[in-house]
């Protein structure tokens, strides 16, 4: 039996999107691919309301986290660490031989603009990394306020991980002044894993031109040049996944972005109300994620046992991430899931736990 995925990625992919992958292949140097790929890029720009350069890389999101560092930072970068993925970005920057400093808060807390500004006043940073939706803790970073504050530091680029939020949570890339916004296909896009989307500002592209050691595979400058000349990707892309992406973008357009955001908000409110009544939220109040709820296991339930019972009924939720494995559990409400599917999940959890 298929277990419906209420985990924070991969998320459920609707059958018609899965089916879209089953078409015969085309060559990535054929006109048909140019048409497919340029169509995808235009649709992404329209849906995300951005004029920035948009690229789809055949890779998971982590590749773009690394690429953002390698393309946009010569030396000094400030990394916001409030959970596992913020920490991953910090470590990536170190592995890329950059001088990375971290702002660290306890897991479950949000990093506020004042904390970043304090660091920026003391030292000049080329870029700041922010995980907009920390999947390990269910915390939404105040990206609007961080973006507004950073307008006073025009030489500092804003690099943002929206892996578990873009297409589910409303993020105004232009208004927030995001220079690199990156995401993966297997989360709120509701697609199979394998594609990463990057939205890159002119300022970031200009900066990249002066940075050495950008590498080849995810070199923003090379990818943009190739796209401008040919409307294609420099290396062989996952063409079948592009079919699915193209189909899904049409479906998202049909739903309407505002409706999509509202659906995510309603699902989040429902799960969070339930969690507050029966357990407690892990996220700092006021900073709850719109796409994934991290629940404090205040009843000391055995999450593995709950998931086993849920599995028999055709559902899967997620345990806590890393060091929070026993302390928390997570319910994702992102992608194409509906409120009634969430209600059904919660009803089943209530039955199993006798709530
Ligand atoms: C916030 C966040 N950033 C980055 C990643 C890594 O993405 P990927 O597994 O697509 O490389 C994840 C994956 O769960 C994530 O949730």
Q: Residues 2-19: pLDDT tens digits?
A: 999 999 999 999 999 999
Task: Evaluate if residue 113 carries a pLDDT over 90.
Answer: yes
If one residue of 184, 192, 193, 194 were mutated to test the ligand 1 pocket, choosing by the most ligand atoms within 8 A of its CB, it would be 184
Residue ranges at the known binding site: 330
Q: Which residues form ligand 1's pocket by a CB distance below 6 Å?
A: 9, 60-62, 85, 131, 133, 135, 161, 163-164, 184
Q: Supply the pLDDT for residue 193.
A: 98
**Across 203-218, average pLDDT:** 98
Average of per-residue pLDDT values in the chain: 98
**Across 218-239, average pLDDT:** 98
Q: Supply the pLDDT for residue 11.
A: 98
**Across 87-105, average pLDDT:** 98
Report how far ligand 1's centroid is from the alpha carbon of 192 (Å): 13
Q: CB within 8 A of 156, min separation 6: which ones? A: 120, 124, 125, 126, 127, 128, 150
Closest protein CA for atom 13 of ligand 1? 163
Report how far ligand 1's centroid is from the alpha carbon of 85 (Å): 7
Atom of ligand 1 lying closest to residue 63 CA: 11
Confidence label for 199 from pLDDT (cuts 50, 70 and 90): very high
Which pTM value belongs to this model?
0.98
Annotated domain spans of the chain: 4-10+256-353, 15-254
Task: Evaluate if residue 50 carries a pLDDT over 90.
Answer: yes
* 266-280 confidence digits (pLDDT tens): 999 999 999 999 999
Report how far ligand 1's centroid is from the alpha carbon of 62 (Å): 6
If one residue of 57, 64, 65, 164 were mutated to test the ligand 1 pocket, choosing by the most ligand atoms within 8 A of its CB, it would be 164
Report how far ligand 1's centroid is from the alpha carbon of 121 (Å): 30
Task: Evaluate if residue 51 carries a pLDDT over 90.
Answer: yes
Atom of ligand 1 lying closest to residue 9 CA: 14
Report how far ligand 1's centroid is from the alpha carbon of 79 (Å): 16
Task: Evaluate if residue 236 carries a pLDDT over 90.
Answer: yes
Task: Evaluate if residue 315 carries a pLDDT over 90.
Answer: yes
Residue ranges at the known binding site for substrate: 330
Q: Supply the pLDDT for residue 141.
A: 98
Task: Give the integer Cα–Cα distance in Å for 61 and 65.
Answer: 7
Could you tell me which CATH number the domain at 15-254 has?
3.40.640.10
Task: Evaluate if residue 326 carries a pLDDT over 90.
Answer: no
* 140-196 confidence digits (pLDDT tens): 999 999 999 999 999 999 999 999 999 999 999 999 999 999 999 999 999 999 999
Domain 4-10+256-353, CATH number (from 3.90.1150.10, 2.40.160.60, 3.40.80.10, 3.20.20.70):
3.90.1150.10
**Across 221-247, average pLDDT:** 98
Confidence label for 78 from pLDDT (cuts 50, 70 and 90): very high
Q: Supply the pLDDT for residue 267.
A: 99
**Across 336-340, average pLDDT:** 98
Atom of ligand 1 lying closest to residue 83 CA: 1
Q: Supply the pLDDT for residue 335.
A: 98
If one residue of 62, 79, 165, 294 were mutated to test the ligand 1 pocket, choosing by the most ligand atoms within 8 A of its CB, it would be 62
């Amino acid at each position: 039996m298929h277990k419906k995925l209420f985990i924070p990625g991969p998320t459920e992919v609707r059958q018609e999107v899965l089916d879209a992958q089953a078409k015969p292949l085309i060559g990535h140097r054929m006109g048909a691919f140019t048409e497919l790929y340029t169509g995808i890029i235009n649709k992404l720009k329209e849906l995300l309301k951005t004029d920035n350069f948009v690229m789809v890389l055949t890779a998971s999101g982590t590749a773009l986290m690394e690429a953002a560092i390698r393309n946009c930072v010569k030396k000094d970068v400030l990394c916001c660490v409030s959970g596992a993925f913020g920490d991953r970005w910090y470590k990536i920057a170190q592995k890329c031989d950059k001088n990375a400093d971290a702002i660290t808060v306890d897991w479950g807390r949000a990093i506020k603009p004042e904390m970043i500004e304090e660091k920026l006043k003391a030292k000049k940073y080329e870029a700041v990394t922010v995980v907009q939706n920390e999947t390990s803790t269910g915390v939404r970073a105040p990206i609007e306020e961080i973006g507004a504050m950073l307008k006073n530091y025009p030489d500092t680029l804003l690099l943002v991980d929206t892996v578990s939020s873009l297409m589910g949570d409303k993020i105004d890339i232009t208004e927030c002044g995001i220079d690199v916004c990156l995401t993966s296909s297997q989360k709120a896009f509701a697609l199979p894993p394998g594609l990463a989307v990057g939205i890159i500002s002119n300022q970031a592209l200009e900066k990249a031109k002066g940075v050495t050691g950008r590498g080849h595979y995810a070199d923003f400058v090379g990818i943009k040049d190739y796209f401008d000349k040919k409307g294609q990707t420099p290396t062989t892309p996952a063409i079948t996944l592009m079919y699915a992406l193209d189909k899904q973008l049409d479906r998202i357009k049909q739903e309407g972005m505002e409706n999509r955001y509202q659906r995510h908000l309603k699902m989040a409110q429902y799960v969070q109300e339930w969690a507050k009544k029966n357990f407690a939220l892990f996220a700092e109040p006021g900073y709850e994620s719109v796409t994934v709820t991290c629940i404090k296991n205040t009843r000391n339930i055995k999450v593995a046992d709950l998931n086993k019972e849920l599995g028999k009924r055709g559902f899967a939720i997620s345990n806590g991430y890393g060091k929070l494995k026993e302390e928390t559990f997570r319910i994702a409400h992102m992608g194409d899931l509906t409120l009634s599917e969430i209600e059904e999940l919660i009803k089943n959890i209530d039955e199993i736990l006798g709530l």
